[in-house]
Homo-oligomer: A and B are copies of this chain.
Amino acid sequence: MTGPVASPEPPARRRGRPTRAESAGTRDRILAAAREEFSARGYDKTSVRQIAKAAGVDSALVHHYFGTKEQVFAAAVEVAFAPALGAPDTLLEGPPDGVGERLVRFALGVWENPTTRAPLLAILRSAVTNETAAAVFRRLVAAQLVRRVADRLDLPDAELRAELAAAQLVGTALLRYVLRLEPLASADVEQVIARVAPVVQRHLTQP
């Protein structure tokens, strides 16, 4: 999965007009448009044609760079998760008794910022309503994020622990940022961190 996303080479096959297609920015523009469209409509209601239109390119070019809609989605998810995927290493390196707070602070920080929130929202909306999108989520998030956290825990059931900690974080984000349940939605972020951190800490490290 990392090949097509990281690859700087021009595509091997040629289709459509070569002028804009050759631009290094075209791929990024398609990905940004895909994120926007998936975020606004969810996986089911987003078509490759809409993504192409939003990116100002021909549909054939989207297929050419990415393949199917599922593959465009996977690439968009992968780009969206890139910062998060690098985070566990740093977050898990510090003192073990502060890992809960560091993870919660990082996760809520990503959700607090509208720019970084949009792709997460796109993934969540799509994965909840579509099985193909859910499979992409499982493959990327489970295999990478959860396993990376679990690998650092020297405890039985490390993956289950990481997933239940993730459940508290995902649930908090869902109720605060998506469903906007009050008083949680308007609570000071530091107050939320203070309440959620010990719980995440407990999931991850309590014997």
Contacts and interface: CB of A to CB of B under 8 A. Distances in A.
A110 interface: no
How many copies of this kind of chain does the complex include? Answer: 2
Interface in A5-24: none
B184 A128 contact: no
A124 to B, nearest CB: 7
B44 A195 contact: no
A69 interface: no
Interface stretch (A58-66, A87-95, A136-144): A136-144
Contacts of A170: 171, 174-175
Q: Chain A at the B interface: mostly helix, strand, loop or mixed?
A: helix
Contact of A42 (B129, B166, B196, B198): B129
Interface residues of A, number: 46
A53 interface: no
A183 B166 contact: no
A182 interface: yes
A138 B179 contact: yes
Interface of A: 42, 44-45, 124-125, 127-129, 134, 137-138, 141-142, 146, 157, 159-161, 163-164, 166-172, 174-176, 178-184, 187, 191-192, 195-196, 198-199, 202-203
